[in-house]
Copies of this chain bind each other. A is one copy, B any other.
Amino acid sequence: MIPNSDRDDSYSNERRRHLMEIALKRFAKDGYHPTKISDIVGEAGVAQGTFYWYFKSKEAVALEIVEDGRNQLLDVIAQGYRQDSGTVQDMVQASETLLCRLFLFAEANRHLMELLLGSMAASDTIRQAIGETRIAMENAFLLNIERAIELGMLPATIDAKLRSAFLMSLIEGVISRWLFATMLPGNGTQAKTAQQLASETARFEFFGLLGI
């Protein structure tokens, strides 16, 4: 009963992936509860029962989507900083590079980011999975900051944890405003490129409003 040919398998995987994509889009756009299984299978052009061949339940897809997303995101961040001392200018440049990579990923995965940043009011399990993803990101930034302090590139007087929270707040806010226009139309991020945003955000990150 278990298919063993490549053909069947990849066909199967395709369908699975297709359903997940649609589910992701709907969850992001309409929210978890308002999205009906019938919407998903309707858009996919398959029967209701088919959904349950690929996924255990509605919650299960949501969970899988979030966990997939987490891995992708952490991959993007994992390539980060890796700066070995250097000038302040180098540090700002490194941060800008990371932010740019992050923004590009977000741009290419709008729905995923909408899901992760919009904290859709689903079940506790899902909420938790989303929370963990954000914590993981924040931790990545925390490590970077701590390393920078060790290297003497950032003043030792600052609270690294709090600063990483500031950073994540900044990033989450910028991405939300940039990509989900419906949420906050007419804000200052809309027409920018990922590179521009990264540059400005990095500048603010290091120098604040008064910065150069």
Give the interface centre of A172, A182, A183 by most chain B CB atoms within 10 Å.
Answer: A183
A18 at the interface (CB under 8 A from B): no
Residue numbers in B under 8 Å from A171 (CB-CB) = 169
Could you say which residues of chain B place their CB within 8 Å of the CB of A3?
none
Is the Cβ of A172 less than 8 Å from the Cβ of B174? Answer: no
Task: Give the number of residues in A that approach B within 8 Å (Cβ atoms).
Answer: 57
> Given A169-B173, A186-B135, A209 and B121 touching (CB < 8 A)?
no
A31 partner residues in chain B, CB cutoff 8 A: 33, 121-122
Query: With the chains together, A119 CA to B88 CA distance in Å?
Result: 37
A94-108 with Cβ < 8 A to chain B: none
Q: Mark A191-212, 1 if CB is under 8 A from B, else 0.
A: 0100000001100111111111
Q: Which parts of A43-98 form the interface with B (CB within 8 Å)? A: 88
How far apart are the CA atoms of A128 and B38 in the complex, in Å? 26
Q: A161: CB under 8 A from chain B? A: yes
Q: Which of A148-205 contact B (CB under 8 A)?
A: 154-155, 158-166, 168-174, 176-177, 182-189, 192, 200-201, 204-205
Q: Is the CB of A204 within 8 A of B163?
A: yes
Our pick among B122, B187, B210 for the contact of A161 (Cβ within 8 Å) is: B187
Across the interface, name the chain B residue whose C-beta is closest to A122. B31
Q: A127-B183, A131-B185, A162-B189 are in contact. List 20 more A-B contacts (CB 8 A).
A: A88-B210, A118-B121, A119-B183, A120-B121, A134-B184, A135-B187, A163-B188, A164-B188, A165-B173, A166-B174, A166-B201, A166-B204, A169-B169, A169-B170, A169-B172, A169-B173, A169-B174, A170-B173, A173-B173, A206-B210
